Amino acid sequence: MVMEDAEAPHHMLLLRNFMAQGLVLGQPLLYSSPARDPRGFLGTLPSPAASKDDKSRERDPDQEKGLRIAWQYKKYLGESQLDGQRDSKHEYSNEFDLRKPLERHFINGPRIDCVSIQDCPDLSTLRDRCATFLSQFPRNDGSISCAGRIAIQSFCAPQCAYSNMEWDMLSFIRYLKSMVRSSNSVAIITFPPLLSPSFCKRWQHMADTLLSVKAIQDEDKELAQLLTGYQDMVGFLNVHKVARINTQVPVILEATTFSIKLQKRRYLVLECLNQAPVDGSSGTSYGTSGGWSSSSKTGNLDF
């Protein structure tokens, strides 16, 4: 689950990568959002970034010229090229080029289901669509060739009619979690910070993996001094919890705060920030931990 920031759309960057990755790997996708026409968002999904292998293949003609003397080796070059071309299956990759939209044939496939949650008076429609979608990926048959991805954007957005039905939303999340656990699928839910504090905490506890994104203030001199590369940063990503299922070994991350950068406005890059010593006994809820504040007045940086 991703806790959004009311002032910045960084959760969309994460969703885009998640959805594009699934489509490129041939995994069916269910996407739901409060927009009237969620399908429109699919047009903004990024294409996989050109991998380094591709680049090396392009350089081959030049390399061939260089092998005038070592002509014996040309035959090896030719072979690797052929191999590369035969293998059209996409490698698993986290690199996406935001400037290049995903190819049409990925988006027009039948394996994408879009649901608009704006006009639903309650969550039964969404629940049914999720159930139908997830029934395609039963876990018990042993093969994991097909996995499904669910992306629910801005789940408790204020324009949804059910947005004040807090217990219903909570029970939907529990339901979804149990369905996802018993099928070959993953789900991402993003939600804006408009819940009452007690429900916000409940939702945080429901999550297996919990992230939050934060906006960054423009022209903040304090931050600019503290952080290198401030000019390129567009926001922060905090990792609050990482899923540990079927194991008791906790995961200890080197860093829990990452800066979100858009390299050349094309590639989403997450970089570690150094973590200051954290007071372990604070016991505050995830949303407020670290005392991070986005206003420059307090300047209270504790990550």
Minimum Å gap between C-beta 34 and another protein is: 8
Q: How many residues does the chain have?
A: 303
Position among 82, 161, 224, 251 found at the interface with another protein (CB under 8 A): 161
Interaction of residue 120 with another protein, rule CB under 8 A: no
Cα separation, 178 vs 172, in Å, equals 10
Residue with tokens 């090229």: 81
Interaction of residue 141 with another protein, rule CB under 8 A: no
The span of 53-61, 172-180, 273-281, 291-299 binding another protein (CB under 8 A) equals 291-299
Please work out, in degrees rounded to the nearest 5, the angle formed at the alpha carbon of residue 167 by the alpha carbons of 159 and 204. Answer: 85
Minimum Å gap between C-beta 96 and another protein is: 17
Residue 41 sits at φ, ψ, to 5 deg, of: -65, -25
Cα separation, 14 vs 9, in Å, equals 10
Count CB neighbours of 161 within 10 A.
13
The span of 64-72, 214-222, 240-248, 283-291 binding another protein (CB under 8 A) equals 214-222
- Binders in 261-280 for another protein, by CB under 8 A: 262
- Binders in 18-47 for another protein, by CB under 8 A: 34-36
Minimum Å gap between C-beta 271 and another protein is: 16
Per-residue exposure over 268-289, b if at least 16 CB sit within 10 Å of its own CB, e if not: bbebebeeeeeeeeeeeebbeb
Minimum Å gap between C-beta 182 and another protein is: 32
- Contact footprint for another protein (CB under 8 A): 6-10, 34-36, 118, 157-161, 163-164, 192-194, 196, 215-219, 234-235, 260, 262, 294-296
